[in-house]
C-alpha cells in the first residue's frame, strides 16, 4: 500500500475557484493529442520526487503537477490546490473518463489526491512515496480511494 497524501491547502485563492482558458490552447476533445502530451509529461517528470507545495523538478506535489501540466501544456489555468481543482469543470462519471480529465481520491481522513486520466484506467500523478508516476485506477487501493472526476471543456 502506498502512502498518498497531496491535499495542499488553498492559501491564496478566491472563494470561487475558476479556470482561465488561453486563446491558444489544446482542444481537450482531441484525446489522441492529450494522451501524447500526458505521456510526454510523464517522460519529462518521471524521476521527480514528491515535495508538498513543490512546483519544480526539485520536487512537486500532485496538485502542482496538474496545475503545471494544464497551464504549460494545455493552455488552461486551473487553481493550484487539490480542493479548488475538485470544484472546477463538470462532473464526469468514472465510466466515461477520457484523457485529460482530473481524477480525485480520498486518501485519508482529510487527505485528497489528484491526477490526470490518460487511458484504460491509467492516470498520471505524484505519489508521496514514489514521485511522479502512472498508476491504474483498477488497482484496489485507487479503486477504494476514488472520489470523483472533473472535466474541463
The C-alpha atoms of residue 11 and residue 134 are separated, in whole angstroms, by 28
Q: Which of 62, 97, 103, 133 is catalytic?
A: 62
Angle, CA 146 vertex, CA 150 and CA 48 arms, to 5°: 80
Q: Which of 50, 80, 112, 113 is catalytic?
A: 113
CA nearest to 10, candidates 60, 40, 53, 46: 53
Whether 6 is catalytic is no
Under 8 Å CB-to-CB from 30, ≥6 apart: which residues? none
Whether 125 is catalytic is yes
The C-alpha atoms of residue 85 and residue 95 are separated, in whole angstroms, by 20
Q: Which of 103, 125, 127, 133 is catalytic?
A: 125
Whether 62 is catalytic is yes
**Residues classed as catalytic:** 62, 113, 125
Amino acid at each position: 500500500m502506498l502512502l498518498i497524501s497531496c491535499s495542499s491547502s488553498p492559501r491564496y485563492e478566491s472563494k470561487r475557484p475558476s479556470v482561465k482558458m488561453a486563446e491558444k490552447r489544446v482542444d481537450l476533445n482531441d484525446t489522441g493529442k492529450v494522451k501524447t502530451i500526458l505521456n510526454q509529461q510523464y517522460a519529462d517528470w518521471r524521476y521527480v520526487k514528491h515535495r508538498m507545495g513543490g512546483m519544480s523538478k526539485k520536487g512537486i506535489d500532485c496538485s502542482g503537477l496538474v496545475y503545471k501540466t494544464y497551464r504549460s501544456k494545455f493552455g488552461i489555468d486551473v487553481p493550484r490546490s487539490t480542493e479548488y481543482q475538485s470544484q472546477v469543470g463538470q462532473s464526469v462519471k468514472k465510466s466515461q473518463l477520457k484523457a485529460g480529465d482530473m481524477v480525485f481520491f480520498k486518501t485519508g481522513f482529510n487527505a485528497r489526491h489528484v491526477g490526470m486520466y490518460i487511458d484504460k484506467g491509467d492516470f498520471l500523478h505524484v505519489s508521496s512515496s514514489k514521485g511522479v508516476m502512472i498508476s491504474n485506477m483498477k488497482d484496489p487501493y485507487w479503486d477504494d480511494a476514488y472520489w470523483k472526476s472533473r472535466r474541463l471543456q
